[in-house]
Amino acid sequence: MSYRALVIGEGIAGLAAALAIAREGCVSICAPSNGWRRGSTYRAQGGIAAALGEDDDESRHLKDTILMARGLANREAVQILMEESHKAVAPMLEAGIFEMTNPSHPTLGREAGHSRSRILHAPGGLTGRALARHFYQMAVSHPRIHFVEGFSEKLIIDDQGRCHGSWIRTSSSDVMAITASATVLASGGYAALWQMTSNHPFSVGHGLMLAYDAGAELSDLEFVQFHPTILSQDEPRGEALLLTEALRGFGAHLVNPHGERIMKDHPLKELAGRDEVARAVYEESEAYLTLRHLTPERIYAHFGQLAELLSARHFDLARDLLPVAPGAHFAMGGVCTDSFGQTRVPGLYAAGEVANTGVHGANRLASNSLLEALVFSKRIAEHIQKNLHLPGDFPTTDPPLLHETASDAEILQRLGNIMDKDFGVIRDPHLMNQGLRHIEALQYRYNHRILRLCRLIAQSALLREESRGAHFRLDFPASDVKWAGHLVHSLSMGSQFRPA
Ligand SMILES: Cc1cc2nc3c(=O)[nH]c(=O)nc-3n(C[C@H](O)[C@H](O)[C@H](O)COP(=O)(O)OP(=O)(O)OC[C@H]3O[C@@H](n4cnc5c(N)ncnc54)[C@H](O)[C@@H]3O)c2cc1C
């Protein structure tokens, strides 16, 4: 079959791109079995930001986004995000996904860094599940979308450097080629390289390295957002439960073991930027989220599904002190794209968390990422429809040798908590150097894709001698104008600094 596009990944970015491209042509989606549940989309708890309140507009949303990005946002990309935000959420409002205050007004939540209440969310609080299910159901019943169970292991690149699809390892371990006019990487971020993470264990940045090996540029890898309130329990990588910021928007407090509010001196209290709250929580020996001062019935009515997840872990959302710690949550860094999701490799696009559109800069504004995935996936589809008229078929020879020296699970086990300890919320130069040496030693032994990405992240964190957004260094605790730009990595040019 000749495909208009191969989409790699079935989170919101992949599904939204596939549905938009399928209006005109056939699409193949490749993802592991149950892939729509094995990524960040399914886990999203807050919702989607859109300036729909009477006291709000896109220019306010834009201002908040740019402010949070700490000097590194691409203004044009943010402007596009704002201009297309209302159109992007309209079909979901029509489909009845979001909680409504009355039949014509959605309920708007408040999250950190937003100057207005503007977070659309599903009833019960687990918005990602509702969105993922909605998009997945539309895609599986679409006659022009074909699902392939498997992992993309290598992109198919011709002698001129153009991408024609991917080699896929199927669930039965065979290797097959899927070729297409366009390839859309939508494989999610890399926050699961850290042991304490809100992400699914598959979010280890495979897509970034597929693109890098094909000639694309990666940038801003040192910027990883740490969420301040992950339920702190001894759990395996990828199983920790996030306690959404919407709880703080609802009035929850962060307290130390003496019951004192951790954020009491900040003008925005618990709704200060995520970077600031994460550092404050990190510096406490123990920190707790509490809703004890609020009415239990209102809490259960608003966050019923989250309360159930907590109850399964023997916590009562309304009555218990909930132990929290910061954990890696969202990757601002990714594959560099233009405003139509194009990477530097012709025929290769990137959407969602794997991409770096420039919207988030050094620090993402909460609930802007689902919106970004929707807006830029649609633009990718438009670009493909207008500009790509190549046949989907491309002759391939025998599959290349694809085996890595060890499984992801083994590499992650060897990596342990190096990223948390040495490249965490507060970065110490001695620990970073030690961490880089550890990673290099592991890489020497295994030369695995995951370790190559860790090394690029470590090098970026060491090179950026300042603190900005999510990247905080003990030895350079302030921002420095000379670092107002991006660290960009590619196979052909190595690592470069590019002024913003
Ligand atoms: C706990 C949590 C809560 C969040 N809450 C919010 C929120 O409220 N609002 C908001 O805007 N953002 C939120 N985020 C961030 C947001 O959910 C993500 O940025 C967004 O869902 C990313 O979507 P995606 O489609 O790019 O990637 P994902 O949803 O991560 O999907 C990636 C897909 O790629 C597949 N995949 C990975 N590697 C391969 C490969 N090699 N081959 C084939 N398939 C592959 C995966 O299985 C998956 O199907 C949250 C994130 C987390 C973890």
Residues 301-327: tens digit of each pLDDT: 989 989 999 999 999 999 999 999 999
User: What is the side-by-side strand order in the sheet with 119-120?
Assistant: 48-49, 119-120, 108-109
pLDDT of residue 269: 94
127, 247: one domain: no
Q: How confident is the model at residue 192 (pLDDT cuts 50, 70, 90)?
A: very high
Establish whether residue 377 lines the binding site of ligand 1, counting it when its CB lies within 6 angstroms of any ligand atom.
Answer: no
For residues 341-345, give the mean pLDDT: 98
Concatenate the DSSP letters of all residues of 37-75 into one string: GSSSGGG--S-EE---STT--HHHHHHHHHHHTTT---H
pLDDT of residue 2: 75
How many other CB atoms are found less than 10 A from the CB of residue 465?
Answer: 12
CATH code for the domain of 291: 3.90.700.10
Does residue 22 fall inside a structural domain? yes
180, 44: one domain: yes
| pLDDT higher than threshold 80 for residue 214 | yes
Q: What is the DSSP letter of 494?
A: E
Q: What is the DSSP letter of 329?
A: E
Establish whether residue 199 lines the binding site of ligand 1, counting it when its CB lies within 6 angstroms of any ligand atom.
Answer: yes
- Helices (H), strands (E): how many in the chain? 15, 20
Q: Give distance in angstroms: CA of 42 to centre of ligand 1.
A: 7
| pLDDT higher than threshold 90 for residue 46 | no
Q: Please identify, by atom number, the ligand 1 atom nearest to the C-alpha of residue 9.
A: 34
* pTM of the complete model: 0.95
For residues 326-349, give the mean pLDDT: 98
Atom 50 of ligand 1, residue of closest alpha carbon: 44
| pLDDT higher than threshold 80 for residue 125 | no
CATH code for the domain of 487: 1.20.58.100
Backbone angles phi, psi at 146, to 5 degrees: -120, 125
293, 361: one domain: no
Q: Give distance in angstroms: CA of 189 to centre of ligand 1.
A: 7
Q: Please identify, by atom number, the ligand 1 atom nearest to the C-alpha of residue 189.
A: 30
pLDDT above 70 covers what percent of the chain?
99
Q: Give distance in angstroms: CA of 258 to centre of ligand 1.
A: 37
Name the token pair of 65.
């986004």
Q: How confident is the model at residue 126 (pLDDT cuts 50, 70, 90)?
A: confident
| 84 CB-side CA count, 13 A | 20
Q: What is the mean pLDDT of the chain?
A: 95
Q: How far apart are CA 189 and CA 227, in angstroms?
A: 15
Concatenate the DSSP letters of all residues of 140-157 into one string: HT-TTEEEEEEEEEEEEE
* Residue 279 designated active-site: no
Q: How confident is the model at residue 238 (pLDDT cuts 50, 70, 90)?
A: confident
Q: How far apart are CA 469 and CA 222, in angstroms?
A: 10
79, 173: one domain: yes
Residues 260-295: tens digit of each pLDDT: 999 999 999 999 988 899 999 999 999 999 999 999
Does residue 393 fall inside a structural domain? no
Domain that holds residue 127: 3-220+332-387
| pLDDT higher than threshold 90 for residue 233 | no
284, 313, 328: which is the final residue of a domain?
Answer: 328
302, 348: one domain: no
The CA-CA-CA angle for residues 150, 153, 156, to 5°, reads 115
247, 279: one domain: yes
What amino acid occupies position 123? P
pLDDT of residue 201: 94
What amino acid occupies position 224? V
Residues 89-117: tens digit of each pLDDT: 999 999 999 999 998 899 999 888 899 99
pLDDT of residue 4: 95
Of the candidates 472, 108, 34, the one whose C-alpha atom is nearest the C-alpha of residue 280 is 472
Q: How confident is the model at residue 493 (pLDDT cuts 50, 70, 90)?
A: very high
pLDDT of residue 393: 82
Does residue 489 fall inside a structural domain? yes
How many other CB atoms are found less than 10 A from the CB of residue 313?
Answer: 11
387 or 173, higher pLDDT: 387
Q: Give distance in angstroms: CA of 200 to centre of ligand 1.
A: 8
Does residue 246 fall inside a structural domain? yes
Active-site option among 129, 248, 274, 464: 274
Establish whether residue 46 lines the binding site of ligand 1, counting it when its CB lies within 6 angstroms of any ligand atom.
Answer: yes
What amino acid occupies position 370? L
Name the token pair of 146.
């074909």
Q: How far apart are CA 60 and CA 309, in angstroms?
A: 34
pLDDT of residue 111: 86
Reduce the DSSP state of residue 365 to 3 states and report it.
Answer: coil
Work out whether strand 218-219 and strand 485-490 pair parallel, antiparallel, or are unpaired: antiparallel
144, 92: one domain: yes
Enumerate residues 6+ apart whose C-beta is below 8 A from 24: 4, 385
Rg of the chain over Cα atoms, rounded to whole angstroms, equals 22
- Using the structure block, give the residue that is written with the tokens 């916590």: 315
Establish whether residue 89 lines the binding site of ligand 1, counting it when its CB lies within 6 angstroms of any ligand atom.
Answer: no
Residue 498: is it exposed, middle or buried by C-beta count within 10 angstroms (0-12/13-18/19+)? Answer: exposed
Of the candidates 460, 465, 459, 458, the one whose C-alpha atom is nearest the C-alpha of residue 482 is 465
Contacts 24+ apart (CB under 8 A), 30-33: 30/6, 30/148, 30/149, 30/150, 30/151, 30/152, 30/166, 30/168, 30/178, 31/147, 31/149, 31/150, 32/149, 32/150, 32/151, 32/171, 32/202, 33/149, 33/171
Q: How many structural domains compose the chain?
A: 3
- Kindly state the helix (H) or strand (E) to which residue 31 belongs, with its residue range: strand 27-31
CATH code for the domain of 115: 3.50.50.60
9, 38: one domain: yes
Establish whether residue 315 lines the binding site of ligand 1, counting it when its CB lies within 6 angstroms of any ligand atom.
Answer: no
| pLDDT higher than threshold 80 for residue 402 | no
| pLDDT higher than threshold 80 for residue 155 | yes
Establish whether residue 238 lines the binding site of ligand 1, counting it when its CB lies within 6 angstroms of any ligand atom.
Answer: no
pLDDT of residue 399: 76
| pLDDT higher than threshold 90 for residue 41 | yes
197, 250: one domain: no
Torsion of CA 393, 397, 403, 404, to 10 degrees: -70
Q: How confident is the model at residue 118 (pLDDT cuts 50, 70, 90)?
A: very high
Q: How confident is the model at residue 119 (pLDDT cuts 50, 70, 90)?
A: very high
Residues facing 6 on adjacent strands: 28, 183
419, 492: one domain: yes
Residue 341 Ramachandran class (φ > 0 left, ψ -120 to 50 alpha, else beta): left
